[in-house]
Amino acid sequence: MNQARRAANFDMSSNSNLKVLIGDPARQAPDLHKGLIYQIWRSVEAWINLADDELLFLEGAEDYDVVSSTSGTAVQVKATVGNITLRSEAVISALNSFWLIKNNHQDKQIWLRFITTSSITTEQGQRFAKTSGSRLHELTFLADEAFVRWKLGEKGPAVTELANVVRRLETLDANEDDFQFHRAWKSIEQVIKWCRQDSGEIPDAETYEPPVGFCSKPEGNEKLRDIPKAPIDFLWLFLAQIEFRLGLGRSIFDVAMKRLASRILLQARFAVPSFRMPPETVQQLELLARVL
């Protein structure tokens, strides 16, 4: 047959009049079958591209996994239409699955690939936050992004991003009675507390893991009003503890200690007028606040 085709100079591109055969629509592959076919071809592609030290596992932890002695890549394949964001159900499910796989294989470098035919877009709320000037709302999306990076193993950049969120959070001129401000603060606080616990720091009480997209979720239980916000200095101390646990240097620690020294000095001078701090202690705190 190949010889016959070559003899006939068979060229698909030159036959522009060729059309797909028309049959019974009921016999055509539904969306589920199309998704399976797409997954199969992606699996074949992964098999062809395997390195010598890698194995391909179909329907393993994810649709297929590529595993070596030192690493593993879990791959989720979606043949879908429409746009997706970090809040899409499939994306959240894949991230949660990745976190489980990563915890189950701490001796390997674990990666997640999410292959989709959908287009990637941003949240409607995120676009609204940027165009409307809602700085608080924008900060909640940045906190969500930092949390996703943490879960993906990018802990250093995640901590840096959370520190930026806290720094900007303090500059907001918000009404303390504003429920959305209180909810956003508590949500960011919860993410930082959980990252602190996940870094190896032992908390005073067990901290629950917030879901992906937790901070920018506008809904919130009104009972949250009765739970006080952690002081901003506490958030800096939590981040400093994370920084120490991860061995990331001391830039956040310096910020936290400088703030703490300034706070102690201010309270000692004005909170109790009758109290007189020894001059040498005042000088030490002032020096500490300047050099840190």
Residues 168-194 pLDDT 10s: 998 887 665 577 888 889 999 999 999
Long-range contacts from 67-73, C-beta under 8 angstroms, 24+ separation: 70/108, 70/109, 71/108, 71/109, 71/110, 71/111, 72/101, 72/105, 72/108, 72/109, 72/110, 72/111, 73/110, 73/111, 73/112, 73/113
Tell me which DSSP letter residue 70 carries: S
Q: Given this model, what pLDDT does residue 157 score? A: 93
Q: Given this model, what pLDDT does residue 98 score? A: 81
Query: What is the residue-wise DSSP string for 156-206?
Result: HHHHHHHHHHHHHHTT----TT-HHHHHHHHHHHHHHHHHHHHTT---SS-
Residue 239: pLDDT band (50, 70, 90) is: very high
Supply angle C-alpha 22, 24, 28, rounded to 5: 90
Cβ-contact 102, 152 below 8 angstroms? no
Which tens digits make up the pLDDT trace of 22-34? 555 655 555 667 7
List the beta bridge partners of residue 56. Answer: 66
Which residues lie closer than 8 Å to 197 by C-beta, 6 or more apart?
203, 206, 207
**Cα-to-chain-centroid distance, residue 71:** 21
Residue (of 163, 170, 185) closest to 248 by Cα position: 163
Angle separating helix axes 135-151 and 155-169, nearest 10 degrees: 160
Which amino acid does the sequence have at 182?
A: H
Check pLDDT > 80 for residue 127. Answer: no
Angle separating helix axes 251-270 and 279-291, nearest 10 degrees: 150
Check pLDDT > 90 for residue 48. Answer: yes
Highest mean pLDDT among 21-30, 107-116, 174-183, 243-252: 243-252
Q: What mean pLDDT is reported for the chain?
A: 77
Phi, psi of 270 (to 5 degrees): -120, -25
Which residues lie closer than 8 Å to 271 by C-beta, 6 or more apart?
none
Q: Given this model, what pLDDT does residue 256 score? A: 86
Residue 227: pLDDT band (50, 70, 90) is: confident
Which tens digits make up the pLDDT trace of 57-86? 998 888 899 999 999 999 988 887 778 776
The Cα–Cα gap between 23 and 45 comes to 30
Residue (of 77, 69, 71) closest to 34 by Cα position: 77
Residue that the structure tokens 């940045």 belong to:
142
More confident site: 174 or 115: 115
The Cα–Cα gap between 205 and 124 comes to 35
Q: Given this model, what pLDDT does residue 189 score? A: 93
Check pLDDT > 60 for residue 111. Answer: yes
Query: What is the residue-wise DSSP string for 10-40?
Result: --GGG-TT--PPP--GGGS--HHHHHHHHHH
Report, as an integer, the average pLDDT of 8-23. 54
Q: Given this model, what pLDDT does residue 275 score? A: 44
Cβ-contact 69, 78 below 8 angstroms? no
Return the percent helix, strand and coil in the chain, to nearest 5.
55, 10, 35
Residue (of 139, 130, 123) closest to 215 by Cα position: 139
What is the reported pTM?
A: 0.57
